[in-house]
Amino acid sequence: MRTNDLWIHYNADREDQILEAAEAILRKRLDRQGKIGEPNEATAYLRAHCAHLEHEIFGVIFLDTRHHIIAIEDMFRGTVDEADVHPREIVKAALKHNASSTILFHNHPSSNPEPSAADRAVTARIKQALALVDIRVLDHIIVTADTCTSLASRGWV
């Protein structure tokens, strides 16, 4: 390895450490807040959690009846422009956590904050599957490096 390659590798490792520290701080802040009154209250944490990734992840914030966070899970990992999402697995996880509601999230590595037709369709499928066991979907948030887009704010949840 050349000296320049070592410096780039060192900087990348350092950057990852900084991002992990920021994510941990924002998660503690979210936990201290106690509950999520509005889905967008989770956006700072979600941006630190997944905006920097070069691949898509699809995750769920599981909430109790008072919108306290029970768990946050990355459920599916994909490629640069898609992730296969299975509503059955989300239902299983929601039941395991005894959640009464959820906030879905995924990142767009392309930095395009606009929900695709596939994003809207999977939201509808998950919402329908969770409704069968009386669990609500409060929002689906798309995360990019610059912003977050709420499907609920557009009337699509």
- Say what the pLDDT of residue 139 is: 94
* Cβ pair 40, 148 in contact under 8 A: yes
- Say what the pLDDT of residue 36 is: 73
Q: Which residue has the tokens 């990019």?
A: 144
- The Cβ of residue 114 has, within 10 Å, a number of other Cβ atoms equal to 10
**What does the angle CA 28 – CA 123 – CA 37 come to, to the nearest 5 degrees?**
35
SS3 for the chain is CCHHHHHHHHHHHHHHHHHHHHHHHHHHHHHHHCCCCCHHHHHHHHHHHHCCCCCCEEEEEEECCCCCEEEEEEEEECCCCCCCCCHHHHHHHHHHCCCCEEEEEEECCCCCCCCCHHHHHHHHHHHHHHHCCCCEEEEEEEECCCCEEECHHHCCC
pLDDT tens, residue order, the chain (157 aa) = 555 555 555 566 777 777 677 667 666 666 655 667 776 678 888 888 888 889 999 999 999 999 988 999 999 998 988 889 999 999 999 999 999 999 999 999 998 999 999 999 999 999 999 999 999 999 999 999 889 999 999 999 9
Q: What is the pTM of this model?
A: 0.81
Taking the C-alpha atoms of residue 155 and residue 157, their distance in angstroms, rounded to an integer, is 6
Domains (range + CATH), the chain: 3-154 (3.40.140.10)
